[in-house]
Structure 1
């Protein structure tokens, strides 16, 4: 069976930046870069968004991509203020790349991770995110007061906190990648958590990590 390519759209106000990212991704195996006017939906559809700020219009655009067009988003930014970081996460962005680190290889890795439904956050940005989620909760729904995690959930979260991907965690724990994904999905559904970073922040607050 032939695997469908990951469909990628590139969004940037600066034509040169858009052309640069398009050039980096075009020709990569199993990645198809298409024009913005093409509506491509599905779990293997990724939008790469380059922006300087996540202001109100930018947040609305992110929500439209994530919810209205059912796309995973890779956000490429120069820097983020605390409020902008939390706004991006609330919009459903789980994959971040610093612009100065946005090489072709790094962008390809981020696109593939987003297409799988995984999260990728630079370590320094993840630390800031965990602090902010722990301090403010990011306006998230209240987590159930019954906070009991299974041993294997704690093990998986410990490796998530170290920045490992699902396949790496699977190798560490001798699980299948699907098992790791199911463990995380079950935990986040039960505890009303939005993403991997939120799950780690929850585990830190409850004393599991």
Structure 2
């Protein structure tokens, strides 16, 4: 809220390679009095072209390809709203691991849905399309079915390992877990690596699904 009592506008930067898609997104964003489009990206420009502002901006990225380095770089500068045609299972997991705040499927984008996604991202919330939520649930259930029962000689997770797994199951990111446990992000990653290596799991989502199935959480 500003000193005049009116809501502060949310600064937004727009990223992507397709000029027509960028123009459409920018038009939708400018239709909302709650959003201020800053430094809209031109065709072919990347996230490094965004000027630094005093207020952390929400980045809207329209892309055909999920590139983890780009998502990670944008997420480190502020919340990201991702606009994509569709996500495969592996892409969905990559997006969630990269810390993207909201996902919109391109054919479902309207001025209202884009505004709501930006507001959710600005509040550091999470938003996924209904289809992606169902896909994520199916993935977790499949991973739970595929998780093998550990051999008796493998030590079950305990102590900090359980703390990390519980916080992951609650949807927290590595940075947030490190803050809550008063440790470094590297420590959290090392704990996760130890669990996934010991139980031969593929990634953090698989680790949470395994811990739930095995009754550790």
In structure 2, what is the equivalent of residue 25 of structure 1?
29
Residues 141-156 of structure 1: pairs in structure 2 closer than 5 A: 144-145=161-162
Distance verdict in 2 for CA 1:147–1:95, change over 3 Å: closer
TM-score under structure 1 normalisation?
A: 0.62
* Offset at residue 146 of structure 1 (A): 6.2
Higher radius of gyration, 1 or 2: 2
**Which whole-Å deviations, capped at 9, do the CAs of 1:184-203 have from their partners, x for residues lacking one?**
x79x946x7xxxxx7xx76x
Residues 6-155 of structure 1: pairs in structure 2 closer than 5 A: 6-35=10-39, 36=41, 37-40=49-52, 44-54=56-66, 58-67=67-76, 70-133=77-140, 135=143, 144-145=161-162
Distance verdict in 2 for CA 1:147–1:114, change over 3 Å: closer
Structure 1 residue runs of 5 or longer lacking an equivalent are 137-141, 150-156, 161-184, 193-197
- The answer on whether the counterparts of 2:10 and 2:34 sit within 8 Å (CA) in structure 1 is yes
- The answer on whether the counterparts of 2:79 and 2:122 sit within 8 Å (CA) in structure 1 is yes
Number of residue pairs aligned between Structure 1 and Structure 2: 160
* Offset at residue 205 of structure 1 (A): 2.7
Distance verdict in 2 for CA 1:59–1:28, change over 3 Å: same
Residues 167-206 of structure 1: pairs in structure 2 closer than 5 A: 189=180, 205=212
Structure 2 distance, partners of 1:189, 1:24, is 38
Structure 1 distance, partners of 2:165, 2:27, is 47
TM-score under structure 2 normalisation?
A: 0.60
- The answer on whether the counterparts of 1:43 and 1:116 sit within 8 Å (CA) in structure 2 is no
- The answer on whether the counterparts of 1:46 and 1:74 sit within 8 Å (CA) in structure 2 is yes
